[in-house]
Amino acid sequence: MSATAPRRKKSSSWSEPIVWELESSGVSVSPALFEQFQQLIHEETGIWLGETKMALLCGRLSRRLRALGISDLDCYYELVMRPDQSEERVQMIDAITTNETRFFREPRHFEFLERKAIPRWQADAQKGLRSRSVRCWSAGCSSGEEPYSLAMLLATNLRPDQGWDASILATDISTRVIAQARLGIYGMAKSTDIPDSFLKGYMLKGSAEQEGHMKVMPDIQAMVEFQRLNLTRDPYPPAGRFDVIFCRNVLIYFNFQSRHRVIEQLTRCLSPAGLLFVGHAESLSGINSPLRSLAPAIYARAGESNGY
């Protein structure tokens, strides 16, 4: 069976629905060349493509071959290995990485924040035990649904008129999805994942040319700063900065050594009473870290008296 890849139909404006079709990639890869791509992608991103991902590699990179007028993956590999092709290596990563997300994904995490973490912050602020500044990090933010979900939750519960200042750093390895996330524009089909009060309070409904889409309100967008960051290569933010780090459904793409390094770095970035959220399909089992489990896929520093 030949590999397939999605093709996007051109639209006259950003408001028109995006339609995807499957087409034959017409691209193949030998086992030896696939191993070379495996190693390159792992070195660049920490992601390990198993042997079952050969069709995915062919399908995703076929778009780059067409864009560059290159006939096969052997020539493309030679291109991306050239020292002067760092930008094309970024394009390769954009093509390979999978970005699946939705608003308020894994809702129990947001329930934990609303019912336990935020009341604790509020109580501690009242007692003078902490400031009214809250910093969160969405690591692996994809097209922005996760950080905007966090922003809506924080804006509702930690209001600026009560002295609170909440902000979110949102990072991803893909420049493509970061550009999409900055726009804050989504199809109306995604509205079903957003609680009604948040949908009415924080999303704008498109009309005319924008019909069928919704846009995150400016006040929510202003809470989120988007940056490109490679978790296995780039410098991390300052130590002890974040009250909350979401790194969900990212670790599953790394091998054990890469997962260990990423968890070590993320832990360093947590404030003393900070919380780390990972995906429900992920585990810190076997990783030596100073974290303890508070709830499924939620961790805090061991020994910290944070009231959870």
Catalytic residue numbers?
A: 60, 172
Q: Which of 16-25, 51-60, 129-138, 248-257 has the highest mean pLDDT?
A: 129-138
Q: Which CATH architecture has domain 107-301?
A: 3-Layer(aba) Sandwich (3.40)
Q: How large a percentage of the chain has pLDDT more than 70?
A: 90
Q: What is the mean pLDDT of residues 166-191?
A: 94
CA separation, residue 295 to residues 113, 115, 283, 287, 305 (Å): 12, 13, 12, 17, 16
The yes-or-no verdict on residue 188 having pLDDT over 50 is yes
pLDDT top residue among 203 and 97:
203
The yes-or-no verdict on residue 23 having pLDDT over 90 is no
Reduce the DSSP state of residue 193 to 3 states and report it.
helix
Q: Which of 99-108, 246-255, 264-273 has the highest mean pLDDT?
A: 264-273
Regarding beta strands 133-139 and 165-172, do their DSSP bridges make them parallel or antiparallel, or are they unpaired? parallel
Residue 308 pLDDT: 67
In this structure, what DSSP letter does residue 9 have? P
Residue type present at position 112: F
pLDDT top residue among 218 and 24:
218
Chain segment 277-286, per-residue pLDDT in tens: 999 888 787 8
Chain segment 80-89, per-residue pLDDT in tens: 999 999 889 8
Residue 306 pLDDT: 59
Domain map (residue ranges) of the chain: 4-96, 107-301
- Cβ proximity of 236 and 214 under 8 Å: no
In this structure, what DSSP letter does residue 181 have? H
| Average pLDDT in the chain | 87
Whether the full predicted model's pTM is greater than 0.85, yes or no, is no
Residue type present at position 304: E
pLDDT top residue among 44 and 130:
130
Residue 63 pLDDT: 85
pLDDT top residue among 162 and 20:
162
Instruction: Determine the topology of domain 4-96 in CATH.
Output: Chemotaxis Receptor Methyltransferase Cher; domain 1 (1.10.155)
Confidence band (pLDDT; 50, 70, 90) for 17?
very low
